Amino acid sequence: MASLTVRNISVTPLELTRVERFAFDSTPTHDGVPGGGFVGRLFWGLVRAPMSYLRSAGSCGDSGSDVGGVALKARRGDAAPFLGREEIQDVHVGPFATRMTDVRAPDPEHEVLRLTFAAAFDRPGAGNGVDGGQEAPATTYRYYTVDVPAASARSIELQPVDDDDDDEYDEGGRMVDGPVAAAAAAAFTAVYIPHGAHLAIMSSAALSSWMATVDGAWPLSSLSLPGTHNSPACHAALPSVRCQAVDVRTQLDNGARFLDVRVSVNPTRLGRVSGGGGGGATAPRMALVHSAFSVSLTSTRWFAELYAAVCAFLDAHPTETVLLSVKREGTGWGTDADLARQLLEYYTGGRPDRPSSSSSSAAAAAPTPTGKAEPWRWFTEPRIPRLDEVRGRIVLVRRFRLPDNDATFRQLHGGAGWGLDASTWPDNCADGLSGSGLLRLQDFYEVTQAVNIDTKIRHVRALLEHAASTNFAKHDAAVVRTTAMYDGTAAAAAPSSHTPPLFLNFLSGSNFFNASCWPERIAARVNPAVIEYLCMRHGETAGGPAGMAVGDGSTGIVVTDWVGAKGDWDLIRCIVAWNARLQLKP
């Protein structure tokens, strides 16, 4: 039996202190699944997953609970047979470190391990130091347990050992009085990979506002950003059209920060749409589509509705930003030029009413809309911004061409451009540059046969490795170019000319004529493979397919299908966890 490996994907030092073994009877059925224990349940879960997606609600489904399995917690009253306990010494796992232990991994058919970890936190100094000053911070410990393997293939929440949130422990293991430090109050989540006997532990970030803990001086390209492909395609639709399990607001509330939107445009058709540009002003009725098809078979869904949902989310969470990729598709008669003009006139406007380097508090205090467009909600400069510049705002990723010989667009940002230019998009590419080179992307989508899913996974891992190997630098606010600094010429380069590109990694693919390659079937294989890679190999020296050195460990933007199905947000949580690594850089 293999030895247990522990990986710490957090900034908190951990120490394994105790291992307890319990017998696990794998004979009975589980939720209607034939016997066979953890492996059997996992196999049947994977087999049934695609069909459960097909049977999901006609409109965007309920994401359900986001709580992962806890193997023994529900059975502790059943007195699971206790097999033994071992006190562990000197198994320290530092931040973003991996440690192979001498602990024998559990037999997933017959055993469950309960592991106890001590998490080290800095305790704030008390008021009785030398000369009446503050004492130096002291290291205190809080203990957590986790049971592996869990009763499901989902992530596992670590459980505090004590029920009293006021209990802490000093360096000698003695309990001390006083409130738990803010950092200690944060929980941990674990993902256990049985075939590798690998346990990854990460912080349980508040996914609705996870950017609040990220230093705003980092450029967006340095962040690990979850996204969704054909984001509004969560309604009852043709098999190759539906790509998501839940609606856009639910995606955002659970950590997604990149939205992929396709619209059908007509040149002159207008109509009043609730929540349109300018808070209900007459706005173009741009339909949400996936290729030539509506995202919903039952009714047309509109861009204005999606825009209102994004704005409502940002109003509630001003520390966050949303990258909005807009592309023209569908059967509308309009052109890219029509799309550009309608977005500019009714949504983005020409310039923001406040400097682009404004703080999140200013974003929350944006002026009440008075016209058709809402420029204060958007960042449309043709460069990669710092996070602080765009908190509370939408970053335009432009997958359409600008009108030729249009003076309005030539004047935007001193003629430098409008939005992050993704207008030239390499088709079906494994690794390519888009537009002005600000995006490096993997969008291999022609998965014609099920055997090609493995090829897709290899391409995804390759770009993840490139992203992880890249080093980034913070941008000082004093040198970042704001909208007001554009002087009418495009000669001077913005700071993003020296910033690595945004890595844009699509996990999606489909083939309408092959049921085994519909989006939900591909996601059922790709998503778990990416979770495994992020937990076991991402950010490890020579851990990727090309054996590259590790830089800052970013994942880039990972664009997913079918996240949130049955409340499963593990993939997004694994992506978000990698942002903590930036905290280790000065």
DSSP per position, 453-501? HHHHHHHHHHHHHHHHH-------TTTSPPGGG--S---SPPGGGGSPP
Report pLDDT for 352. 58
Nearest to 260 by CA among 232, 224, 286, 287: 232
Strands 502-506 and 557-560: parallel
Count of other CB atoms within 10 angstroms of residue 473:
15
Report pLDDT for 108. 84
Binning pLDDT at 50, 70 and 90, where does residue 149 land? very high
Report how far residue 215's alpha carbon sits from residue 284's, in angstroms, rounded to the nearest whole number.
Answer: 38
- The mean pLDDT of the chain is 83
Nearest to 325 by CA among 219, 438, 463: 438
Tell me the average pLDDT across 443-460: 95
Looking at 148, 180, 204, the residue that finishes a domain is: 204
Tell me the average pLDDT across 349-378: 59
Whether residue 264 is found in the same domain as residue 150: no
Whether residue 37 is found in the same domain as residue 182: yes
Contact between 577 and 202 (Cβ < 8 Å) = yes
Nearest to 457 by CA among 535, 541, 545: 545
Tell me the average pLDDT across 235-248: 94
More confident residue, 224 or 372: 224
SS3 153: coil
Is the pLDDT at 341 greater than 80, yes or no? yes
Binning pLDDT at 50, 70 and 90, where does residue 281 land? low
Looking at 140, 169, 204, the residue that finishes a domain is: 204
Q: Which amino acid is at 313?
A: F
Judged by average pLDDT, the poorest of 29-43, 44-58, 252-266, 477-491 is 477-491
- In angstroms, the Cα distances linking 523 to 243, 247, 252, 447, 571 are 9, 17, 19, 12, 11
Domain with residue 564: its CATH number is: 3.20.20.190
Whether residue 491 is found in the same domain as residue 442: yes
SS3 239: coil
Whether residue 21 is found in the same domain as residue 74: yes
Looking at 178, 204, 230, the residue that finishes a domain is: 204
Report pLDDT for 91. 97
Whether residue 296 is found in the same domain as residue 390: yes
Judged by average pLDDT, the poorest of 58-62, 310-314, 394-398 is 58-62
Report pLDDT for 140. 86
Whether residue 192 is found in the same domain as residue 232: no
Which pLDDT tens digit goes with each residue over 502-518? 999 999 999 888 888 99
Whether residue 507 is found in the same domain as residue 526: yes
Report pLDDT for 28. 44
Which pLDDT tens digit goes with each residue over 12-45? 999 999 999 999 765 444 444 444 444 454 444 4
Whether residue 182 is found in the same domain as residue 233: no
Could you tell me the residue range of the domain that residue 267 belongs to? Answer: 209-584
Whether residue 147 is found in the same domain as residue 220: no
Q: How many domains does the chain have?
A: 2
Q: Above pLDDT 70, what percent of the chain?
A: 74
Element at 573 (helix H, strand E) = helix 570-577
Whether residue 186 is found in the same domain as residue 279: no
Report how far residue 218's alpha carbon sits from residue 584's, in angstroms, rounded to the nearest whole number.
Answer: 13
Binning pLDDT at 50, 70 and 90, where does residue 124 land? low
Report how far residue 379's alpha carbon sits from residue 394's, in angstroms, rounded to the nearest whole number.
Answer: 6
SS3 281: coil
pTM, entire model: 0.85
- In angstroms, the Cα distances linking 516 to 240, 425, 439, 511 are 11, 27, 31, 8
- What token pair was written down for 483? 């909208």
Whether residue 333 is found in the same domain as residue 475: yes
Whether residue 197 is found in the same domain as residue 275: no
> Which stretches within 303-425 are classed as H helix?
303-316, 336-343, 360-364, 387-390, 407-411
Tell me the average pLDDT across 140-162: 89
Is the pLDDT at 100 greater than 90, yes or no? yes
Is the pLDDT at 349 greater than 50, yes or no? yes
Is the pLDDT at 78 greater than 60, yes or no? no
